[in-house]
């Protein structure tokens, strides 16, 4: 009960009790973590996605990710943070959202603390999460979604879909999935399942690229993608490490799992490619890496070495299946595999946490496993969380897309523009002038 | 005056250039082209999506020579560019009507 209360205090930033003092180690770490996670969007993800795009659309892909951060973060301050981490006065409302009393960070002072570091830092940290979640979805609709529609979608989705989901999982006492005892260390459900499924929804609503799947659509530069992947990994130390909310041993555990699982995942993907295609590609190595990173995200501070290896290896296999088999079978154009990798590996990680989390009272946040050692019960809580998040994202994304599309006169670019390329048509720029 | 156009495998460029230099041909125009004849393409693999690429990169060399030099030039190119495997390329010889050196205004054979 004490642990739960402490966690609730971390997540209810309007309270700064006399007992909580600013710890400079924790503060420095959370500030650095925020910077690391920021790096993941306009550098890591942008390069990761950009490199896989056809050269006539590379800048557009990059811009979608880059500007998604800008718009999402502002939306976060306007209302996202309040909805996610505020406390609604009515318990019924608090189940789903945290209310609007902290819009524009109203009621939060620069001196307030969330645990042992400034609340403002917590706001930034969580805001970088909001930004990368929505940016993930862009990969599914590259080369054909209208730029204006995308930006409007980002603004609304952050507030209407991301923030409530964040609240339900991490929002403190009274929040639906938080109360149920969901274990999601850094966002397997909140970030990866969420962003990945939103991507699939968009891919289906906006439609396939012209010529898909028979026309060759080759990545401009696998090297840029690999660089992006490496930057994502670097930033992920802040993503998972910072989700310990302090410079402490739990962060140390997250560091270990966040290095080990992705490494095993990358090896797995490369091996699978070699076995099936006789060629192990660099793109495969990077894809495996990301699948492993995604899979370990909900489990990073809950599993041990064996758990990390299992999460990484199986996460990679599942990601590979999603990319090489499922996509072809079902025929949707999830161009950069937002669903194939982020959703599926995130789903696996979220469920795997249920049966791989170590039964350690100092690691577990809450839930049946911690309370009574009920592992099956914990697994069912994880299932509940993925179902609730999945449904909320699915329905919410459909609604938000239709609104964004209506506000911008249609979400898809015209055929001629698609043929010419968005860098020229939308941005008037060329990625390279040699 | 004849134009000799040779399509060769890219890695043979230096060998052919050296062979031509040895017989006194010091000038040419080289471009990177794509094409295919009987040589099969290659395939590229991106996340399980296999692309068969029919067009192969080649080098096109163009040079203008005196009619009397055609035989020794083509022989030199063939010897230097041949690997014996499919895709070695082809040489095309055609007539040139007029040549003008821009700097000096020299024409025809003096401009070779």
Contact pairs from chain A to chain B, CB under 8 Å: 29
Q: Is residue A393 a part of any domain in this protein?
A: yes
| Cβ distance of B44 and A218 shorter than 8 Å | yes
Shortest Cα–Cα distance, B18 to chain A (Å): 29
Residue A93 CA to chain centroid, in angstroms?
25
Check CB contact under 8 Å for A213 and B45: no
- What does residue A97 show for φ and ψ, rounded to 5 degrees? -135, 160
- CA A137/CA A72 separation, integer angstroms: 13
Beta bridge partners of B63: B4
Domain that holds residue A121: 2-415
- Hey, what are A6's tokens? 């402490």
Confidence of residue A3 (pLDDT cuts 50, 70, 90): low
Q: Which residue, among A95, A99, A108, has the nearest Cα to A15 in the 3D structure?
A: A108
Nearest CB neighbour to A323, from listed B44, B48, B50? B48
pLDDT greater than 50 at residue A425:
yes
What's the domain count of chain A?
1
Cis omega (within 30 of 0) on the bond before A213?
yes
Phi, psi (degrees; rounded to nearest 5) at A114: -110, 95
Mean pLDDT over residues A105-121, rounded?
97
Cross-chain residue pair B51–A216, CB shorter than 8 Å = yes
Is A7 contained in some domain?
yes
The pLDDT of residue A19 is 56
- The band of A8, judged by pLDDT with boundaries at 50, 70 and 90, is low
- Given CB atoms, is B45 within the 8 Å cutoff of chain A? yes
> Options 3.40.50.1100, 3.30.70.120, 3.30.70.100, 3.50.50.60; which CATH number does B2-111 get?
3.30.70.120
Query: A26-67, pLDDT tens digit by residue?
Result: 999 999 999 999 999 999 999 999 999 999 999 999 999 999
Please answer yes or no on whether B46 and A283 come within 8 Å at the CB atom. yes
Consecutive H or E run containing B19: helix B13-22
Name the band, by pLDDT with cuts 50, 70 and 90, for residue A14.
very low
Among all residues of chain A, which has the CA nearest to that of B54?
A: A216
SS3 B70: helix
Q: What is the pTM of this model?
A: 0.91
Helices within A242-367 (DSSP H only): 249-277, 282-296, 305-321, 327-330, 344-356
Mutate to test the interface with B, among A54, A216, A286 (most CBs of B within 10 A): A216
Q: Is the residue at A425 inside a domain?
A: no
Say yes or no: ipTM exceeds 0.90: no
Q: Which residues of B touch A284 (CB under 8 A)?
A: 47
How close B49 comes to chain A (CA, Å)? 7
Domain CATH code at residue A235: 1.10.3430.10
- Please report whether residue A266 resides in a domain: yes
Residue B35 has phi, psi (to 5 degrees) of -175, 180
Q: Min CA distance, B53 vs chain A (Å)?
A: 9
């Amino acid at each position: 009960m004490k642990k739960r209360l402490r966690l609730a205090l971390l997540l209810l930033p309007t309270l700064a009790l006399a007992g909580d003092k600013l710890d400079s180690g924790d503060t420095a770490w959370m500030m650095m973590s925020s910077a690391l996670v920021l790096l993941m969007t306009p550098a890591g993800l942008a390069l990761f996605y950009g490199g896989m795009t056809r050269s006539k659309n590379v800048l557009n892909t990059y811009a979608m990710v880059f500007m998604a951060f800008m718009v999402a973060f502002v939306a976060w301050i306007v209302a996202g943070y309040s909805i996610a981490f505020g406390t609604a006065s009515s318990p019924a409302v608090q189940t789903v959202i945290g209310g609007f009393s902290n819009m524009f960070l109203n009621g939060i002072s620069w001196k307030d603390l969330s645990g042992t570091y400034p609340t403002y830092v917590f706001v930034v940290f969580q805001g970088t999460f909001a930004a990368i979640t929505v940016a993930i979805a862009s990969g599914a609709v590259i080369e054909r979604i209208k730029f204006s529609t995308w930006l409007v979608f980002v603004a609304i989705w952050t507030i209407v879909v991301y923030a409530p989901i964040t609240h339900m999982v991490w929002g403190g006492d009274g929040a639906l999935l938080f109360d149920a005892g969901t274990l999601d260390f850094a966002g397997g459900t909140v970030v990866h399942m969420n962003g990945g499924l939103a991507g699939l929804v968009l891919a289906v609503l906006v439609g396939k690229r012209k010529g898909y799947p028979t026309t060759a659509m080759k990545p401009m530069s696998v090297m840029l993608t690999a660089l992006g992947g490496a930057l994502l990994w670097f930033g992920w130390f802040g993503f998972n490490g910072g989700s310990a909310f302090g410079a402490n041993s739990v962060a140390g555990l997250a560091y270990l799992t966040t290095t080990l699982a992705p490494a095993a995942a990358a090896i797995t993907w490369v091996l699978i490619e070699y076995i099936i295609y006789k060629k192990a590609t660099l793109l495969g190595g990077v894809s495996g890496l990301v699948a492993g990173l995604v899979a370990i995200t909900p489990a990073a501070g809950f599993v041990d070495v064996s758990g990390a290896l299992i999460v990484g290896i199986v996460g990679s296999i599942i990601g590979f299946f999603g990319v090489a088999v499922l996509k072809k079978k079902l025929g949707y154009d999830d161009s950069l595999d937002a669903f194939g990798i982020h959703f599926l590996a995130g789903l696996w990680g979220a469920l795997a946490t249920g049966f791989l989390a170590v039964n350690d009272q100092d690691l577990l946040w809450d839930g049946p496993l911690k309370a009574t050692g009920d592992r099956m019960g914990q697994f069912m809580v994880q299932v509940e969380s993925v179902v609730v998040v999945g449904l909320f994202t699915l329905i919410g994304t459909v609604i938000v897309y239709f609104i964004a599309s209506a506000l911008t006169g249609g979400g898809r670019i015209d055929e001629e523009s698609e043929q010419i390329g968005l860098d020229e048509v939308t941005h008037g720029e060329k990625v390279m002038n040699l | 005056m004849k134009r000799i156009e040779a399509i060769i495998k890219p890695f043979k460029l230096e060998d052919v250039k050296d062979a031509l230099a040895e017989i006194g041909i010091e000038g040419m125009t080289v471009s990177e082209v794509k094409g295919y004849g009987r040589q099969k393409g290659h395939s590229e693999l991106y996340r399980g999506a296999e692309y068969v690429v029919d067009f192969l990169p080649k080098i096109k060399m163009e040079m203008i020579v005196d009619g009397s030099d055609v035989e020794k030039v083509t022989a030199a190119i063939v010897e230097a560019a041949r690997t014996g495997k499919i895709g070695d390329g082809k040489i095309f010889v055609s007539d040139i009507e007029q040549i003008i050196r821009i700097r000096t205004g020299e024409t025809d054979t003096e401009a070779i």
